[in-house]
Amino acid sequence: MVRRRRKTLEIAVEPDTSVVVAAPVDAPVEAIAEKVRKRAAWVRRKQRFFEQYLPRTPERRYVPGETHLYLGRQYRLKVTYGAPQGVRMIRGFLIVESRQPDRIEVTRRLLERWYRDQARKKFEERLESNLKRFPDPDAFRPQGLIVRSLERRWGSLSPSGRLVLNRRLIEAPVDTIDYVITHELCHTTEPHHGGAFYRLLDRVMPDWSTRKERLERTLA
């Protein structure tokens, strides 16, 4: 449980089936526990939904022949000697050119740098596209875009208005990236997951639930 400066309590079930409770700073523990008990059935339904996609993707080993996702498609990893070092994507392969092709840590670092570079470019492109879903795009424009490795969330909108997106999203199909961006932009005017938030999300992206399910299925 985390305490935040907010008026209402929020309960969220994350893709790993963990439960996160965000409560007002001054909320009594007994009141929080009672609300959590009342939502127990809903929490269990959400956990069962996510459980069908477990176990999660095995930890990457960064060895030749291993498959890696990019925008929803599988690419086979190929590691070769090369200078300058870098990553290329050619006909179903992610080719890592390295001066130390036998060192897994170097391969991992080069590939992760490439993913982050691609994420930054693609997320900026999709942000501009998804802002057009709103009647007044500039009113929903974030104060900045941050790409970060997140353990529990696909994205968030910081109190200062910065859009934070999980680096792993670059592995997902574009329509699911659009869902996460649009979801977070809706928080510009609706900070909590209440009825007004979902009414706004339904208006600007009627098929959001289908996209959300595809995202969880792809990156499970």
Q: What is the pLDDT along the chain (220 residues), one digit of tens a residue?
A: 778 777 888 888 876 678 888 888 888 888 888 988 899 999 888 877 766 655 555 678 899 999 999 999 999 999 999 989 999 999 999 999 999 999 999 999 999 999 999 999 999 999 999 999 999 999 999 999 999 998 889 999 999 999 999 999 999 999 999 999 999 999 999 999 999 999 999 999 999 999 999 998 898 7
pLDDT at 6: 79
Residues of the chain with CATH 3.30.2010.10: 57-218
CATH for 57-218 (2.30.30.40, 3.40.50.720, 3.30.2010.10, 3.40.190.10)? 3.30.2010.10
Distance between the two ends of the chain, CA-based, in angstroms?
24
